[in-house]
Amino acid sequence: MSSSKNSLSNKAQAWSARFNEPVDELVQRYTASIGFDQRFALVDIAGSLAHAEMLAKQKIISIQDLESIKNGMAKIRSEIESGQFNWQLALEDVHLNIEARLTELVGDAGKRLHTGRSRNDQVATDLRLWLRDNVDIISTTLQALRLAILDLSEKHAATIMPGHTHLQVAQPITFGHHLMAYFEMFSRDESRLQDCRKRINKLPLGAAALAGTSYPINRDLVAQLLGFDGICDNSLDAVSDRDFAIEFCAFASILMMHISRLSEELILWLSPRFGFIDLPDRFCTGSSIMPQKKNPDVPELARGKTGRVYGDLISLLTLMKSQPLAYNKDNQEDKEPLFDAVDTVQDTLRIFADMIPHIQVQAKTMLVAAEGGFATATDLADYLVKKGLAFRDAHEAVAHAVKACVERQCMLTDLNLSELRLVCGLKNRPELIGDDIFPLLTVMGSVQSRQHPGGTAPEQVLVAVTRGREKL
């Protein structure tokens, strides 16, 4: 064994007796995956143990061989966990490294482990086991983020802010209602993730290289031992299917798109132009030149990292495009994009779940912003409609009123009843506007009038939060 445990040792050797010379050094480095597929070490061992257990049950190997394999694998696992394992570039990948060490430790039993198996079905199994574990971790973190959004929404069910379309003030809404829109997005993400998990959780082992095997194997037993819901039904598809990894990256891309939208809003709200929120210093950084700066680096980076996750999805789609059946070495390139998507999503979700509860809302600034921009103009139009005016006429009357207010530099609520009638051009139809209009022209009156499922009224936000809590 080499003394430097952490760097890869590199002893070129001929692949097998069929070969006359060792593989070229650059080719060895080019074709090896051990630099990144070490991450599969523990699932690779789990897959091998289930395979060996089945081989012994089916009397394809002896009970003594199974015991030796189990003992050897226990030793290998502890070597890996303590950083003592000697990973060798010459052994190409995680599968051959572990198998070689097993044979070194337990002799012939180690050489029998690969009976009825190929690295093609082995790597496909590792990929699924590894991704399944990570899907479950991501689901838990996503749940923490959704819970943080629910808590903040509940706290701000009645906090008024301006709602925007075209980034122009549109109508008053509540901050809780705005946040609950993200709860909806992240809930759909969770359901996409669980849907994808179903297709991840099928066993490829038994497909061997591509055509299956002539040994009397029991695939259902292996599936059961590894917690799979069933087996991949076609051996060619089993070794070459990477749909599940693409689906995961599609989930990750949509999730990151949602994160980027939230990030963009946080960045805007944090800008002094809006001044709607503040973030604790630990989520921000300063500038090396401008001492006054406090920059929203976390949401900016999350917005930026969205692009790399899209890149991971496109990499995998392009990798699989036009590949003939069954396994091709191209597939070795599936790992790094998948690892990158998993790591990026997991880190991003963790940091957002930590950050959301600490958003400090500047309710006064939000309220002032909602009161400007004639955000209740639609409420006035709706009022006129309820009094008998056709909607298009009401729309036109309010447009006149807004124009007059802009000229006078005042708000609709600054006008008294006769002024309001006048600027609406309704002087001759006084019955259309009465004193009961004034509560409706306030921003609170406006949001409170939106009392239906999915509406922005504080009571409806609380209903949505309760429904959200039941889903979690």
Q: How far is the CA of 420 from the CAs of 181, 182, 442, in angstroms? A: 35, 38, 15
Q: For residues 358 and 366, what is the distance between their CA atoms, to the nearest angstrom?
A: 17
Please identify, among the stretches 17-25, 63-71, 324-332, 350-358, the one whose residues bind ligand ARG according to the rule CB under 6 A.
324-332
User: Cβ 98 to ligand ARG, closest distance in Å?
Assistant: 12
Which residue has tokens 């998990």?
197
- # binding residues, ligand ARG (CB under 6 A): 10
Of 120, 196, 183, the closest CA to residue 151 belongs to 183
The answer to whether residues 379 and 446 touch, using CB atoms and an 8 Å cutoff, is yes
Which position among 159, 171, 213, 331 is part of the footprint of ligand ARG (CB under 6 A)? 331
Question: Is 315 an active-site residue?
Answer: no
Count Cα atoms within 13 angstroms, Cβ side, for 25. 3
State CA 405 to chain mean position distance. Answer: 46
Asked if 329 is part of the footprint of ligand ARG (rule: CB under 6 A), the reply reads yes
Angle value at C-alpha 460, between 458 and 465, nearest 5 degrees: 95
Residue 33's CB: how many other CB atoms inside 10 A?
Answer: 18
Stretch that binds ligand ARG, among 43-51, 78-86, 325-333, 402-410 (CB under 6 A): 325-333
In the window 262-301, what residues touch ligand ARG (CB under 6 A)? none
Question: Given the rule CB under 6 A, which of 150-158, 162-170, 305-313, 328-336 is the region that contacts ligand ARG?
Answer: 328-336
Residue 295 identity: N
Task: State the nearest-atom distance from the C-beta of 14 to ligand ARG, in Å.
Answer: 16
Between 85 and 327, name the residue whose CB sits nearer to ligand ARG. Answer: 327
State the minimum distance, in angstroms, from the CB of residue 28 to ligand ARG. Answer: 13
- The dihedral over CA atoms of 183, 184, 185, 191, expressed in degrees to the nearest 10, equals 110
315 interacts with ligand ARG by CB under 6 A: no
Residue 164 falls in the annotated catalytic set: no
Nearest to 264 by CA among 310, 311, 294, 296: 296
**Binding to ligand ARG, residues 73-102 (CB under 6 A):** 93
**Which CB atom, from 134 or from 332, has the smaller least distance to ligand ARG?**
332
Contacts with ligand ARG, 200-219, as mask; x by CB under 6 A: --------------------
Taking the least distance from each CB to ligand ARG, the nearer of 120 and 448 is 120
CB of 65: closest distance to ligand ARG in angstroms? 24
Query: For ligand ARG, which is the closer residue by CB, 120 or 213?
Result: 120
Structure-token pair, residue 337: 């994009």
User: Would you say 226 or 338 has its CB closer to ligand ARG?
Assistant: 338
Of 441, 462, 464, the closest CA to residue 171 belongs to 441
- Give the nearer residue to ligand ARG in terms of CB position, either 220 or 333: 333
| Closer Cβ to ligand ARG, 124 or 193, answer by number | 124
Rounded to a whole number of angstroms, the minimum distance from the CB of residue 246 to ligand ARG is 16
In this structure, are residues 44 and 95 in contact, taking their beta carbons and an 8 Å threshold?
yes
Nearer to ligand ARG, 23 or 359 (CB): 23
Using CB under 6 A as the binding rule, the residues of this chain from 332 to 351 that contact ligand ARG are 332
As measured in angstroms, the least distance from the Cβ of 209 to ligand ARG is 7
The string over 101-127, giving b where at least 16 C-beta atoms fall within 10 Å of a residue's C-beta and e elsewhere, is bbbebbeebbebbbbbbbbbbbbbbbb
Interatomic CA distance for residues 190 and 196, integer angstroms? 10
Q: Give the active site residue among 16, 166, 288, 452.
A: 166
For the segment 32-71, give every residue that binds ligand ARG (CB under 6 A).
33, 37
Contact stretch for ligand ARG (CB under 6 A) within 61-69, 155-163, 327-335, 438-446:
327-335
Decide whether 31 or 64 has the Cβ nearer to ligand ARG.
31
The least CB distance from residue 326 to ligand ARG, in Å, is 10
d(CA 440, CA 326): 67
Q: Measured between alpha carbons, how far is 78 from 171 in angstroms, rounded to an integer?
A: 61
The DSSP secondary structure of 264-314, one letter per residue, reads HHHHHHHSTTT--EE--GGG-B--SS-TT--B-HHHHHHHHHHHHHHHHHH
| The token pair that represents 109 in the structure block | 């039993």
Site string for ligand ARG, 109-148 (x = CB under 6 A): ----------xx--x-------------------------
Site for ligand ARG in 151-210 (CB under 6 A): none
H-run or E-run covering 361: strand 360-361
CA distances from 175 to 44, 105, 122, 150, 251 (A): 48, 63, 50, 12, 27
| Binding of ligand ARG by 235 (CB under 6 A) | no
Choice among 78, 287, 358, 418 that is catalytic: 287
Which positions lie near ligand ARG, rule CB under 6 A? 33, 37, 93, 119-120, 123, 327, 329, 331-332
Residues with catalytic annotation? 166, 287
